[in-house]
Structure 1
Amino acid sequence: MLPLKKILCPTDFSQPSYEALKVADEMALHFSAELLLMHVVAPIPMIPIHDDPVSFNLPMYEKEMEASAGRSIRQVAEERVSKQVQTRILVVQGDPAGQIVKVSEAEQTDIIVIATHGLTGWRKFMFGSVTEKVIRMATCPVFSIRVPAKR
């Protein structure tokens, strides 16, 4: 395996994503690599009611969602990433798979370490898989950590 200098690990604050973070942290320690810990705030779909959008300050809400995610991801980094690992935190808005790939390309990461939740059947059909999309679109290797879904 080639030495890794930059590892991207997206998190959705789920237990499976924390399992992927463990692996990314170990890889970063082993290779003395920088760890980019990332969260994507998905867009909020707006449903018009009687031709009027809901009276709701969407930009303010999105900013608060991003700020909240920033606080959460800093806490995750503090609690779950080794102190010896150089870590950078990224919080972006948009389509999760698209943003993960975009950041990976912009940052020229050597690998993406990402969890897959192990959804099957109708759940997989309905929700799709961010991990599958990342694997298809990424220009660098993707290390997928499968954590079986709880039944």
Structure 2
Amino acid sequence: MIEPTRSTFNPKKILVPMDFSPSSISALTTTIELARLFHAELYLLHVIPMLPIVTGIEFPTSFYPNQEFLADAEKESEKKMAEFVSNLLGQGIKASSKVEIGNDVVGNVLMVIEREHVDMLVISTHGMSGWRPVVFGSIAEKVVKLAECPVLLLRSAKILDKDDPKGAK
């Protein structure tokens, strides 16, 4: 009989992607308990999505987010993230945050995992139903498939979809 090997899982840095939705705030609340349990540092990430540049297609200039919009979004996001970090530090939890702008939210999350030597990722779903996840895909689903660290996927309550005549169950 093969003896099971004992391994200890003790994350020292936990990444929490934040989009300021109720489900991401709920994920942060859960992660606070994990940080206390493991004496881990929390790293909060907010990615401001930017539309990819498509060659060969002419879009009106107003279609792309302009620099002023991105600068305002970044400033507002940094303010919100600073409030979260301040709250965490006030609870005795080591925390830091970063706001990034990128064409690929999943790619940004994966780069941060590697760059910051993240031991664990905690991410929430949004519980969407209907056509949106089919068309746009799920960031959480992609991250779960591609992340090279342990991932805790927290399912949030389903959001009613006005385009789904049955409603979310």
When the two structures are superposed, what TM-score results if normalisation uses the length of structure 2?
A: 0.78
Cα displacement (A) at 1:57: 8.0
Q: Any gaps of 5 or more consecutive residues in structure 1?
A: none
DSSP-derived class of the 1:121 partner: coil
Count matched residues: 148
Give, in whole Å, the separation in 2 of the partners of 1:55 and 1:33: 42
Q: Any gaps of 5 or more consecutive residues in structure 2?
A: 1-7, 161-169
The one-letter code sitting in structure 2 at the alignment partner of 1:137 is: L
Aligned residue runs from structure 1 range 1-151, under 5 A: 1-44=8-51, 48-49=59-60, 53-54=61-62, 58-79=66-87, 83-94=91-102, 95-151=104-160
Cα displacement (A) at 1:45: 6.3
- The structure with the larger Rg is 2
Q: 1:75–1:93: structure 2 CA closer, same or farther, 3 Å change rule?
A: same
Q: 1:81–1:130: structure 2 CA closer, same or farther, 3 Å change rule?
A: farther
**Percent identity of equivalent pairs:** 33
Give, in whole Å, the separation in 1 of the partners of 2:124 and 2:65: 33
DSSP-derived class of the 2:11 partner: coil
Give, in whole Å, the separation in 1 of the partners of 2:112 and 2:40: 17
Give, in whole Å, the separation in 2 of the partners of 1:27 and 1:35: 10
Q: Which has the higher helix share?
A: 1
Q: 1:105–1:57: structure 2 CA closer, same or farther, 3 Å change rule?
A: closer
Which position in structure 1 is the counterpart of 2:167? none
